[in-house]
Chain A
Amino acid sequence: MSGERIRAVVQKELRDFRRNRFLVGTMAVLPLVFLVSPMITLLQIPASTPVSVIHHAVGGSSLLLFVVPAVIPPIMAAYSVIGERDQGTLEPFLTTPIEREELLLAKAIAVFLPSVTVAYGIYFAFALTIRFAAAHAVSAAVWHTPQIVAQLVFTPLIATWAVWVGIAMSVRARDVRVAQQLATLASLPAIGITALITFRVVTPSVRLAVALAVVLLVIDIRAWRFVSKLFDRERLITGSRAKPS
C-alpha cells in the first residue's frame, strides 16, 4: 500500500471535481434543498408546542440532514471508475503500478472528504440558525447531546457506506447514470439506523450511538474489501471477466 500513490489520486480527483461545473452545482444545490426545508419547519414551531411534538419535528429534520451524506457521495462515487472509462482515462490509469486497493481507497477518500465537509457544513448552518432564531424548546432539542453526537458520528459513517456503495456500482455498472441511480437507492438504508435514534424509537444514548457507530464502521471496512474483490481490470477494460487457464 503506497501513501504516495493514494495521495496522487486524491489530489487529482479533488482538482478534477473542483473544475467540474455539474458536480460543483450538485454539491451546492442539493444540500441546500435538504437544509432549507427542515429549517423552515423548525423556525415556525411556537414556544408553546408540546415537547413530544417538538422532538418529533426535530427528529424528522435531523433525518433529512442525514440524507445529505447519503445522497451526495453516490453521485460522485458512482462516477469514479466508470467515469474514467467513459472519458478514456481508465486504461492509461490501470497500466500504472497502482494496486486495486490503493485505487479504490484513494477514490473513496476523494469522495468522502468533500461529502463530509458539505454535510457537516450544512448541519452546523442548520444548528446555529436554530440556536439563534428558533424557539428555546426547539433549540434545546436540536442541541441535545446525543443528537449532536449522532450527527457527528453517523455523518462520516453513512457517507463512507454511501461511498462504497457508489464505487461498487461504478465498478460493475456499464453506464454512469445507472450507477448513480442504483448507488443512491442502495445508500438510503444506512439512514434507517440513524432514524431509530432521531425518532427516539430506541432510547437515544451515547452508548447506543457508539455501538451503532461501531457496527457501521465494521460494515464500512468490510465494504472496502468487498468492493476490492469486485474490481476486475479485465472486465473494466473489455467488458468480459478474466478466465485464466
Chain B
Amino acid sequence: MQATPALTVEHLTKRFGGRVAVDDVSFTVAAGEVFGFLGPNGAGKTTTVRMLGTLISPTSGSAIVAGLPLSPANGVAIRQQIAVMPEAPGLYLRLTVTENLEFFAGLYRIRDRARIPAALEAVGLQGRATDLCGNLSKGLRQRVALARALLNDPAVLFLDEPTSGLDPVASREVHGLIDGLRERGVTVFLTTHRLEEAERLCDRVAILNTTLRTIGRTDDLRDRLFRKRLLVETRAPLTDPGSVFDGSPGVTGWEANGSGVYEIVVTDAKLAAPDVARALVAAGADVLSLAEQRHSLEDVYLELISEDVEATR
C-alpha cells in the first residue's frame, strides 16, 4: 500500500435539521485498500458516502478525497476521480447496456470507447451488451452498475450496499468482482450491513452508528474486544480440572461449560495450546478437540451495537 491515503476524513458531521446523521467521524483509507463501512440501517453510512461523493455538504469537518480537499469548488474534480455505485443500480431501463455505458463515458469525457467493452468484460457481461437493461435480472443490473463505476478508472470506488437484495449466487458474483478490483489495486469503500461480506472482502472495517464505534482489521477488533480463549472438549469430565489448567503457562483462567467442555482464557492461544494439550494428556484425559475460540466480526459488531442500544435505554 502507498503512503498517501486515498481518503482522509476528519471530524465529519452531518445534521439534517435537528437530527444528527453522522457525528464527528474521522478515519483514513489507504490507496488500494478495501475498506468496509459497517453499521445498522440509519447509521449514517450512505450519508457519509454522499458527503464524500460531493452529493451533499458536510455540516462540519473536512475530508480529502483522492488527493483533493472536499469542497464545492472541487466538486467536479473529485467526481472525475471517483465513482459511486449506489444501493439501487440506477440504470436507464429503456436503454441497452452499451447505451447506458456510452452515456456515462460521455459524462466522464472518455474518448477511448474501448473502455466500454473492457468494463463489460471485467464484470462478465460482454455477451449482454445489446440487451435492454429493463430485461436484465437484478443481479445483472448490479453488474452493469459496477461496469459503469469502472469506466473512469476511479481512484476511489464507493460501493453502497452492493449486494443488497441480491440472492446468494448473485451476491457471490459481486464478491468475486470486488476481489477482482482488489487485485487491480482499486481503492474500494464498501458500505454494508452484511458482516460476512465485510469479513470476507475487507482489509479493514469501521463500525458506524452515527459516531464511529471502532476501526481496524477484523482480527485486531476481535482481540481488542474479546479475551482469547481455547475450547477443550474431553470424552469424560476431568476429575480435577484446576490442577490441569491452572499450572499451564499462558493460562489466566478457565471455566467448565457443560460436561467435558472447558473454556480456557489464555494470553496467546498459539503459545498456550501445546502446553494445555500436554497437561491434558498427562492427566490421562481423552481429548476430543482443542481449538482456539474464534469470534466472528458479527460478534464484534453485535457487542458494539448492543452497547449503543443499552446506552439509549
Q: Which residues of B contact A5 (CB under 8 A)?
A: 106-107, 109
Decide: A2 and B109 in contact? CB cutoff 8 A.
Answer: yes
Decide: A15 and B99 in contact? CB cutoff 8 A.
Answer: yes
Nearest CB of chain B from residue A109's CB, rounded to whole Å:
14
A20 in contact with B55 given A96-B107, A96-B108, A97-B79 (CB within 8 Å): no
Query: How large, as a class, is the contact surface on chain A?
Result: 20 to 34
Binary contact track B92-108/A, C-beta < 8 Å → 1, others 0: 11110001001111111
Nearest CB of chain A from residue B98's CB, rounded to whole Å:
11
Q: Which residues of A contact B103 (CB under 8 A)?
A: 8-9, 11-12
Decide: A92 and B108 in contact? CB cutoff 8 A.
Answer: no
Q: Which residues of B contact A215 (CB under 8 A)?
A: none
Decide: B107 and A238 in contact? CB cutoff 8 A.
Answer: no
A92 in contact with B106 given A244-B57, A245-B59 (CB within 8 Å): no
Decide: A237 and B104 in contact? CB cutoff 8 A.
Answer: no
A196 at the interface (CB under 8 A from B): no
Query: How large, as a class, is the contact surface on chain B?
Result: 35 or more
A7's contact among B50, B89, B94, B106, by CB below 8 Å, is which?
B106
Complex alpha-carbon distance, A184 and B311, angstroms: 53
B57's contact among A90, A99, A242, by CB below 8 Å, is which?
A242
Decide: B55 and A96 in contact? CB cutoff 8 A.
Answer: no
Q: Which residues of A contact B148 (CB under 8 A)?
A: 92
Complex alpha-carbon distance, A234 and B80, angstroms: 19
Q: Which residues of A contact B104 (CB under 8 A)?
A: 92, 96
Decide: A95 and B79 in contact? CB cutoff 8 A.
Answer: yes
Decide: A244 and B145 in contact? CB cutoff 8 A.
Answer: no
Q: Which residues of A contact B150 (CB under 8 A)?
A: none
Complex alpha-carbon distance, A97 and B57, angstroms: 16
Decide: A238 and B86 in contact? CB cutoff 8 A.
Answer: no
Q: Which residues of A contact B145 (CB under 8 A)?
A: 92
A11 in contact with B106 given A91-B86, A97-B80, A245-B60 (CB within 8 Å): yes
A52 at the interface (CB under 8 A from B): no
Nearest CB of chain B from residue A62's CB, rounded to whole Å:
36
Binary contact track B35-54/A, C-beta < 8 Å → 1, others 0: 00000000000000010011
Task: Please provide the chain B residues from 166 to 215 with a CB less than 8 Å away from any CB of chain A in the complex.
Answer: none
Binary contact track B74-93/A, C-beta < 8 Å → 1, others 0: 00110110111110111111
Decide: A89 and B59 in contact? CB cutoff 8 A.
Answer: no
Complex alpha-carbon distance, A19 and B134, angstroms: 12
Please give me the residue from chain B that is nearest to A3 by CB atom.
Answer: B109
Q: Which residues of A contact B50 (CB under 8 A)?
A: 237-238
Nearest CB of chain B from residue A234's CB, rounded to whole Å:
4
A88 at the interface (CB under 8 A from B): yes
A208 at the interface (CB under 8 A from B): no
B84's contact among A19, A20, A95, A243, by CB below 8 Å, is which?
A95
Complex alpha-carbon distance, A97 and B82, angstroms: 9
A137 at the interface (CB under 8 A from B): no
Decide: A8 and B107 in contact? CB cutoff 8 A.
Answer: yes
Nearest CB of chain B from residue A21's CB, rounded to whole Å:
10
B56 at the interface (CB under 8 A from A): yes
Decide: B56 and A97 in contact? CB cutoff 8 A.
Answer: no
A36 at the interface (CB under 8 A from B): no
A203 at the interface (CB under 8 A from B): no
Decide: B59 and A243 in contact? CB cutoff 8 A.
Answer: yes
B16's contact among A19, A93, A99, A240, by CB below 8 Å, is which?
A240
Complex alpha-carbon distance, A242 and B85, angstroms: 22
Give the top 6 A-B pairs by smallest Cβ distance, nearest first.
A8-B106, A19-B94, A96-B107, A95-B84, A92-B90, A12-B103
**B-binding residues in A (CB < 8 A):** 2, 4-5, 7-9, 11-12, 15-16, 19-20, 87-99, 233-234, 237-238, 240, 242-245
**A-binding residues in B (CB < 8 A):** 15-17, 50, 53-60, 72, 76-77, 79-80, 82-86, 88-95, 99, 102-109, 145, 148
17 A–B pairs (Cβ distance < 8 Å), ordered by A: A8-B105, A9-B103, A16-B92, A20-B94, A87-B92, A90-B90, A91-B55, A91-B88, A92-B85, A93-B90, A95-B54, A96-B108, A97-B109, A240-B16, A240-B17, A243-B15, A244-B57
